[in-house]
Amino acid sequence: MGWFSWKKKEKKPVEPPSAEELWTSCSACKGMLFKEEWIKAWKVCPICGFHEKLTARERINQLVDQKSFHEFDARITVSDPLKFKDDKGSYAEKAEQTKDKTGLKEAVITGRGKITDIRVVLAVMDFNFLGGSLGSGTGEKIFRAIEYALRHRMPLLIVSASGGARMHEGIISLMQMAKTSAALARLHEAGIPYISLLTNPTTGGVSASYAMLGDLNIAEPGALVGFAGRRVIEQTIKQKLPDEFQTAEYVRDHGFLDMVVPRKELRDTLGRLFRYLQNAKVE
């Protein structure tokens, strides 16, 4: 008998990936897309060009130079000043469920990083967190990001993705509109560049405050940009609105946006714009 003996391990058969792992469908045209390629293209449909929503982390990875992002104020989270409840449960419970689901503590991630080697302060919203709604924690994080940009004289980028103010916090939520806008006014007076990037959707109290206060306001193709919803407006004015109403292109053509930039061009475009604005502010 040999010195050693062992049983040959049987290799488990490798299961082929499921259809759900390989394929996805476009939310707009319903076309079938090879998932890996779609993700590499930052979730832009190669058939119709629809720009699917990105999480805040995905957006940061897309825009910021590798290993240059440093998050701050990560501990700031949801507060429940009104102890809000409705027939679906309490706001506190809903917030905790959302935190567990998204891995976030609020609807925005803030920090500093580099975009094409330019040092920038960022505030990037995430629609997956309670519809990207503007709560007291969201407003506080954005306010602190603006103040950081002011103290360190660094240009600011805010990426909006929101359904508007967070009704669960009532007037406390609405106060964040004035709070962030006042901070941006100080940034403007100091001559520090601010670019606002509007993504799908940017509506309500966010579009009525910091999202439209940039030195340059730019948006992704097809993004929903507006204040009140289409149905509310039609019922109010008793008229049928154009099919393209409240798209980024429509808003740009009517003078409320400066540019509409495809996702794949955003990083380089932002780099060029920040360089231009920095030089213009100095001069």
- Residue identified by tokens 């990105």 is 54
pLDDT tens, position by position, 108-156: 999 999 999 999 999 999 999 999 999 999 999 999 999 999 999 999 9
Whole-angstrom distance, CA of residue 106 vs CA of residue 96: 10
**Distance (Å, rounded) from C-alpha 156 to C-alpha 162?**
19
- pLDDT surpassing 90 at residue 281: no
What confidence score (pLDDT) does residue 20 get? Answer: 74
Per residue in 224-238, pLDDT (tens digit) is 999 998 999 999 999
Q: Which domains does the chain have, with CATH numbers?
A: 17-52 (no CATH), 53-282 (3.90.226.10)
Mean of pLDDT values over 19-29: 88
The pTM of this model reads 0.91
> H/E element holding 198?
strand 194-202
pLDDT of 221:
98
Q: How far is CA 31 from the centre of its chain?
A: 25
Share of residues in the chain with pLDDT > 90 (%): 88
User: For residue 282, what pLDDT is reported?
Assistant: 46
What are the start-end ranges of the E strands in the chain? 23-25, 32-34, 70-71, 85-86, 89-90, 108-115, 118-125, 156-162, 194-202, 216-219, 259-260
From residue 199, give the alpha-carbon distance in Å to each of 15, 17, 21, 39, 202: 38, 32, 27, 18, 6
pLDDT at 178 over 70: yes
Q: Give the integer Cα–Cα distance in Å for 26 and 32.
A: 7
Non-local (6+) Cβ contacts of 20 within 8 A are: none
Average pLDDT estimate for 23-33: 95
Mean residue pLDDT across the chain: 93
Q: Is the pLDDT of residue 41 over 90?
A: yes
Evaluate if residue 283 carries a pLDDT over 50: no
Query: Tell me, what's the pLDDT at 189?
Result: 97
Q: How far apart are CA 52 and CA 64, in angstroms?
A: 19
pLDDT digits (tens, 9 = 90+) for 154-165: 999 999 999 999
The mean per-residue pLDDT over the stretch 15-24 comes to: 79
Mean pLDDT of 261-266: 98
